[in-house]
Structure 1
């Protein structure tokens, strides 16, 4: 039931049809061999089975997995006393003032003597709607991951891409715009300083009300490995730069930019715990709010546990336990 519900949430068309064939959910395909289901799914995209296996199938299954996570998070948050529910304590001071335990939570916090509202989204980043600027974590080379990866940056690249009626890729704007940014700033072929932020358009995400993507260089590749190092100080520096860039670009757009959304920077392969990541982001956000900034601030997380950490730290409460990322 959970799997079928997740597939039903996919966009109608090639993506959902391919998922139904791949997973045996299309009528009459449950007892088909996996190879036959894959071949039928490949035909939906008009590509070879091998091409589908290496490209579209990974994207399809990744999208299904993201919706499963969202559905599971919804169920967990809705359960009385569940791990993400606001009906139970999340820290030594008990529940944080929130607007509910669903996928969008309104949190009221105090900053410089005034009450400020934050919005915490508990769902995949590519489901964001009507947020002017979304922050995407990047390495110091501004090299984007492949679209079939499961990271924040890969999800945003995938969502920003433009596809044709049969699913063919027509435009992949984010890597192109980042390359152009590097050319303009003389950084092609070399790493930038951690904390640097590059601004690009939002590609197809513009249809969802997202107008800009700010790529924050926080991850330093570890030589000879596939791992990265992320320092909390670099996260704070990047967030400060994000907010400064937002102020610079604000009036260049109609209507002016006013909202910005942060993921938990560095909490994936960067290895930072949820608590450390949120603390590093919030240090810069709180300082900006204390100076009188009126930005509409959002956080996007994948689990109710992560949302609870955001709510606690923003409200000045230390979480009962340090929540470490699960993937």
Structure 2
């Protein structure tokens, strides 16, 4: 496929990023990288045959957008962008990157590497979708919205918005995970929120093979203890488990929210907005019930857009249903977080909540309110 017909999407860009990881920066000129070349050339004034340098600069811009921490360090090491590594073999670079997360090389290869390189691909797609500067010069490193952690405020309730995979979340007491009414976790290779959290919670041996699945096992125990081992629970039910491997990221509880009702004989689900509101309300109540048994008490909670994946709800509907529960929450000191995976959804969240603020002001005939910031 030529660069003129290349279409930007994260999966396609990720394949090219993985090619560079395997072959190394010193071999870029020999590789077929139509998407990276196109993204790089759009933000460069170079007219000589120096496209490998443009591509490397593009990767460095994407790297800078990761905002530091383990993620940026591991990406720099595995791609050879760290000082002194551009000509090191791929195996050496992978070993150094695995040390950042204190995992075996094999576990890093099977789990962490796709996440790390996927974030580089996300950044490249973000950069590719932004216009070059007015003077045609290469732009300063771009910081994508997921690292801005936008604070939104509607009426007297404020919240933090994250835009990244849920397994990258840090230092939030409770994550609410959407699930089906059978409380059956998806396989770890799936792409859903529940699968990502199960995957992040698994235990591995030195070779990277799974030797324990604590989140799954604890959820089975909850079902047995609550008489739902062989039957579905009511929509809106919330089952708590520990975080297992996510504890290292400051996560203390996972609340599995039953919102998706399977359609018999199909692979589809039905989700109603009322059940999303009920599940969110129950999650907040459960925090109050068990929160003080923790030291310090549970005070922060993060919601994805429940039911907006395979459940079939539109993101706007899911957000509105969530907000119905959050707006009614009486504990104003609770720290509320929302998380979406893609930058365009971040704008939608702000727009929907801003519209709700306007509606509240109109209904209150000028009663004082606060917009989204």
2:119 pairs with 1:67? yes
Change (3 A) 1:205 1:102: closer
1: CA distance between counterparts of 2:131 and 2:328?
35
- 2:283 counterpart residue number: 242
Is the radius of gyration larger for structure 1 or structure 2?
A: 2
- Asked whether the 8 Å contact 2:238–2:282 carries over to 1, the reply is yes
- Asked whether the 8 Å contact 2:177–2:256 carries over to 1, the reply is yes
Q: CA deviation at 1:101?
A: 3.3
- 1:138 counterpart residue number: 179
Change (3 A) 1:153 1:28: closer
- Asked whether the 8 Å contact 2:17–2:121 carries over to 1, the reply is no
- 1:35 counterpart residue number: none
2: CA distance between counterparts of 1:79 and 1:177?
49
Q: CA deviation at 1:183?
A: 1.1
Change (3 A) 1:264 1:121: same
Change (3 A) 1:118 1:173: same
1: CA distance between counterparts of 2:295 and 2:129?
37
- Asked whether the 8 Å contact 1:73–1:304 carries over to 2, the reply is no
TM-score, with length taken from structure 2:
0.62
Gaps of 5+ in 1: 18-24, 30-43, 47-55, 82-99, 320-327
2: CA distance between counterparts of 1:185 and 1:200?
13
- Asked whether the 8 Å contact 2:198–2:215 carries over to 1, the reply is yes
Change (3 A) 1:265 1:73: farther
- 1:221 counterpart residue number: 262
2: CA distance between counterparts of 1:10 and 1:146?
28
- Asked whether the 8 Å contact 2:149–2:162 carries over to 1, the reply is yes
- Asked whether the 8 Å contact 2:180–2:261 carries over to 1, the reply is yes
Q: CA deviation at 1:292?
A: 4.4
- 1:322 counterpart residue number: none
State which drifts further: 181-190 or 68-77: 68-77
2:351 pairs with 1:312? yes
1: CA distance between counterparts of 2:252 and 2:129?
30
Q: CA deviation at 1:258?
A: 0.5
1:272 aligns with one of 292, 302, 313: 313
2:337 aligns with one of 279, 298, 321: 298
2:237 pairs with 1:196? yes
State which drifts further: 67-76 or 259-268: 67-76
Q: CA deviation at 1:309?
A: 1.7
Matches within 5 A, 1:3-14: 3=18, 4=21, 9=71
| CA-to-aligned-CA distance 1:173-210 (integer Å, 9 cap, x gap) | 11100110011111111000000000000001000000
2:166 pairs with 1:154? no
2: CA distance between counterparts of 1:271 and 1:73?
26
2:297 pairs with 1:253? no
Q: Tell me how many residue pairs correspond in the alignment.
A: 263
- 2:154 counterpart residue number: 110
2:170 aligns with one of 129, 135, 138: 129
- Asked whether the 8 Å contact 1:142–1:217 carries over to 2, the reply is yes
- Asked whether the 8 Å contact 1:141–1:191 carries over to 2, the reply is yes
Change (3 A) 1:63 1:292: closer
Q: CA RMSD in A?
A: 3.4
2: CA distance between counterparts of 1:202 and 1:28?
33
Change (3 A) 1:73 1:180: farther
Q: CA deviation at 1:312?
A: 2.1
2:209 pairs with 1:168? yes
- 1:92 counterpart residue number: none
1: CA distance between counterparts of 2:121 and 2:159?
23
